[in-house]
A and B are shown apart, each in its own frame.
Chain A
Amino acid sequence: MLTFPHRETWLHRVNPSLKLLIFVALFVGIVLIHNPNILGCFTVFLLVLLASWTGHPWKRLLIYTSPFLLIFVSSSTGMMFFGSGTTTWYRFGLIHITEESFYRGVHLGFRSLSMAATGLLFSLTTRPVALFYSLMQQCRLSPKYAYSFLAGLRMIPIVFDEFITRRHALKIRGGSGKRGLKRLYEVLQLYAIPLLAQSIRRAQRISVAMQAKRFLVESKRTYYYSIGYSWYDAAFILLIGGIYGLSFWIGLTYPVLDVLDVR
């Protein structure tokens, strides 16, 4: 994601571990909201943040957010059509849209949207190397895990290329004519086995190579980057806390939808 060129914004300077913690706290915070007005407002704020401070160009942002509509629809319709409720609005076969199920569906849609927005916000403003150095320095993550993840990230494009080549090879050799469940398993096997075999061999080689560089020989290590705290962190906490609180106030004072609790 971040391999594409982008502008550095102040969000990039926020301590990555802190950012992660805040976003995880947001997950809990969002789950605790049951009023779609509040949640809708919060979602809008998040989308505004996404549009203004990630430093990526508009066109690319549009591509990243294009699945958002689909996310909203896929999360909300299940509940809308089949949720429980008493005030019927529409009925057709098994589909039974009620006032309650509709609002609940909308709420779920906003929930998924806000989740997706926070996810995108995080991944577009955080460099993986900075994240793992921060996790090692601030959260005492063992270097064994941190550098393994970083090594893994290097492997992703390689696995992807192998996936494409495998698809080409399978197209050329043709199918076996199996159907149904057996075919599902066969497809899984035909892709998973070669990809896993190449990757596992590579993992073993990387492990030996890292140890050949005296990794994990000493118990302490020095660091190339020092990730610390700054004013940006305070600003970030204030910003997120601020829009969370603001959403409550706006949602309760100027409700658009006629419901306070979707449970």
Chain B
Amino acid sequence: MSMSKRNSKGLTLTDILVTIVIAIVFGIVYKIWGPMYDVVKPLGLHAEQTVYGMWFIAGTFAFLIIRKPGVAILAEVAASAVSAFLGSEWGISTLVYGLAQGLGAEIFFLLFLYRKSGVVVTSLAALGAAMASLGVDFYYGYISELTAWNYTLLIVLRLIGSVLIAGVFAYYLSKALEATGVTKLLRPVSKRDLDSLG
């Protein structure tokens, strides 16, 4: 009996499952986060934009753990699906936002050929996701109809907040997770290890 050998570019079953559980953990956080967001939002001064990055930390973080194409998109879609499944108040729109944000992050990882995973690339990906979410908001939330100062405030706070949370925090969080040793089995077997078998 031989198991089918997966091609080295595609996502293995383990990759997919790990991405999905990462999305679940963050999805549960979103679920607990969401109601707080709703309470702060009515003030209209966009205080909630500073922590908007929480919505797409799943995507950037998952890529840092599993550095393969498609992981950011999968993580974002899965996280939205999880929060929708748990009864998110935004319904189907969550999925659309999730997909857009995932694509926004994925594009930046792609630009670096999926080979770089430092703080800068992660922050750029976070920026990408934020810009994608702004794009969706443009059509969906009429944000261009806000007064100029309000509109600018929203954009600036969201971009800065996203870079901070889904970029910088995600990077340091991934380093902290690697220190626990849990990610050792997620990397492909290195030539060094194979050679040292003797």
Contact = CB atoms under 8 A, between A and B. Distances in A.
B3 interface: yes
Interface in B136-166: 139-142, 145-148, 150, 164
A26 B95 CA distance: 13
A186 to B, nearest CB: 11
A45 interface: no
Interface of A is mostly: helix
B21 A202 contact: yes
A188 B173 contact: yes
A104 B145 contact: yes
Given A67-B35, A77-B44, A148-B17, A119 B145 contact: no
A163 B28 contact: yes
Contact of A152 (B24, B42, B148): B24
Interface in A159-194: 159-160, 163, 181, 185, 188-189, 191-193
Contact of A70 (B25, B38, B140): B38
Contacts of A27: 92-93, 96
A155 B21 contact: yes
A133 to B, nearest CB: 16
Interface in B3-54: 3-4, 11-14, 16-18, 20-26, 28-29, 35, 38-39, 41-42, 44-46
Contacts of A160: 28
A83 B145 contact: yes
B180 A193 contact: yes
Interface string B99-135: 0000000000000000000000000000000000000
Contacts of A89: none
Contacts of A68: 89
A68 B142 CA distance: 20
A123 B87 contact: yes
A52 interface: no
B25 A199 contact: yes
Given A67-B35, A122-B92, A156 B24 contact: yes
A87 to B, nearest CB: 14
A159 B24 CA distance: 8
Contacts of A145: 16, 74
A144 interface: yes
A132 to B, nearest CB: 11
Contact of B1 (A31, A149, A217): A217
Contacts of B29: 191-192
A176 to B, nearest CB: 15
Contacts of B60: none
B126 to A, nearest CB: 14
Contact of B88 (A119, A200, A202, A203): A119
B194 interface: no
A199 B91 contact: no
B13 A211 contact: yes
Nearest to B2: A217
A207 B182 CA distance: 15
A91 interface: no
Q: Which 3 A-B pairs have the closest CB atoms?
A: A119-B91, A199-B21, A203-B17
Given A84-B148, A214-B1, A217-B1, 10 more contacts: A67-B35, A77-B42, A81-B44, A83-B142, A108-B142, A116-B89, A151-B20, A152-B23, A163-B28, A207-B14
